[in-house]
Amino acid sequence: MKVSKNEMKDMYLRMERIRAFESKAQTLFAEGKIPGFVHLYLGEEAVATGVCECLRDDDYITSTHRGHGHIIAKGGDLKYMMAELCGKATGYCKGKGGSMHIADGTKGILGANGIVGAGQDIAVGAGLSISYRGTDQVCVCFFGDGSTNQGTFHEALNMASIWKLPIVFVCENNNYGISMCQARHQHIKDVADRGAAYGIPGVAVDGNDVLAVNEAAGEAIARARKGQGPTLLECKTYRWRGHFEGDPGNYKPKAEQEAWLKKDPIPHFRKFLVENDILTEDELNRLDEQAKEELAAAVKFADESPEPDAKTVVEDVYSDIVEEARVR
């Protein structure tokens, strides 16, 4: 599959956007400006980017607790994301969801999710809907290695395979389910092997190589669009940070961390682009600047946005009922 210069440029920019957003989220959380929990996508940028480059706005994704990268890669707006993380009224969810519950119906983003594995079952529904309506859309379901031990993984892959649903199950194998490394939480090396259990292709790729991810995802997505059913695509990557900010990740061996830091997907891709005369250093620097500017605008937007009106707490539970407010 030939990847155009524009696509390469776009992928580089998307990765830089995610990197900038996550780095800032890390700082803002440390400064106490983001309440709650934050699970960062740092180090895994090539996966969401390589996959989402193949998607259209009318395609769907389901995401996870570590969802910022997926949402940015699928076209989510940094301003509304940052405002949501900061609990502002202008955020994607009006401050009702936070980091783990961002959704954007206009971009087919069916939601990040605080329950490990839950998006797998929801993806089946999106796939069923596409198949029922007979369109050529697809649904990409992102999840981590840890979630492949949940019952939802089995239920969803089984159901998607018998109905040949247009779903690409993308396992981001970052080697950890919270504190348990993969070797401790499952007795296989390649999650992709599990595709055989459902009679569907299981493909493993280097998840830090955005072009490898893009190529494998492109094939899986093309299969899905043609009605040839689901694929299990495993992207091997690494979670740089702890499970959440505040988890020092002491369970990760130092040598392992250092080895993976050297495999940072962004400089790796940048080097490739320069060495193959696809983009110049100048062009790349301009993209870096663009990502920084977008981020600065997002932070400013979040900063200047008001907190939600306390009265809105009882709204949006139902389409047609406003719950009773407390009288004080």
Partner 1 sequence: MKKMSIGEAIREAMSIRMREDPNVLLFGEDVGAFGGCFGVSAGMFDEFGEKRVRDTPISEGAIIGAAIGSAATGLRPIAEIMMGDFVTVAMDQLVNQAAKMRYMFGGKISLPMVVRLPGGAGVSAAAQHSQSLEAWLTHVPGLKVVYPSTAQDALGLLLASIDDDNPVMFIEHKAMYGMKGDVESFDPIPLGKGDIKRAGSDVTIIATGNMVHAALSAAKTLDADGISAEVLDPRTLYPLDKELIAASVGKTHRVVIATEEVKRGSFGSDVAATIAEEMFDLLDEPIVRVGALNTPVPFAPVLEQTYLPNAQDIVNAVRSKE
Give contact residues for partner 1 (rule: CB under 8 A): 60, 62, 91-97, 101-105, 110-111, 113-115, 118, 120-130, 132-133, 139, 151-152, 155-156, 158-159, 162, 315-321, 323
**Helix 5-30 vs helix 78-85: crossing angle, to nearest 10:** 20
Instruction: Enumerate residues 6+ apart whose C-beta is below 8 A from 223.
Output: 201, 229, 231
Q: Which is nearer to partner 1, 139 or 211 (CB)?
A: 139
The minimum distance between CB 321 and partner 1, in angstroms, equals 6
Cα dihedral across residues 183, 184, 188, 190: positive or negative: negative
Return the H-helix or E-strand segment holding 181. Answer: strand 180-181
Nearer residue to partner 1 within complex by CB, 91 or 265: 91
Contact 294, 78 (CB under 8 A): yes
Which is closer to partner 1, CB of 58 or CB of 289? 58
Minimum CB distance to partner 1 smaller for 82 or for 122 = 122
Closest separation in Å from C-beta 308 to partner 1: 9
- CB of 269 vs partner 1, minimal distance in Å: 32
Q: How far apart are CA 183 and CA 160, in angstroms?
A: 27
Report, in Å, the least distance between residue 294 CB and partner 1.
22
Minimum gap (Å) between residue 206 Cβ and partner 1: 30
Q: How far is the CB of 29 from partner 1 (least distance, A)?
A: 20
Cα 187 to the center of its chain, rounded Å: 26
Tell me whether residue 63 or residue 175 sits nearer to partner 1 (CB atom): 63
**C-beta of 106: minimal distance to partner 1 in Å?**
9
CB 3 to partner 1: min, Å: 29
Q: Give me the phi and psi of 314, to 5 degrees please.
A: -90, 5
Parallel, antiparallel or unpaired: strands 176-177 and 180-181: antiparallel
Q: Which residues of 132-165 are buried (b: 16+ CB within 10 A; e: fewer)?
A: eeeeebbbbbbbbbbbbebebbbebbebbbebbb
CB within 8 A of 91, min separation 6: which ones? Answer: 80, 81, 82, 83, 84, 85, 97, 302, 305
Contact 206, 192 (CB under 8 A): no
Helix, strand, or coil (residue 236): strand
CB nearer partner 1, residue 162 or residue 197: 162
Q: Which is nearer to partner 1, 154 or 268 (CB)?
A: 154
Give 60 or 169: the residue with its C-beta nearer to partner 1: 60
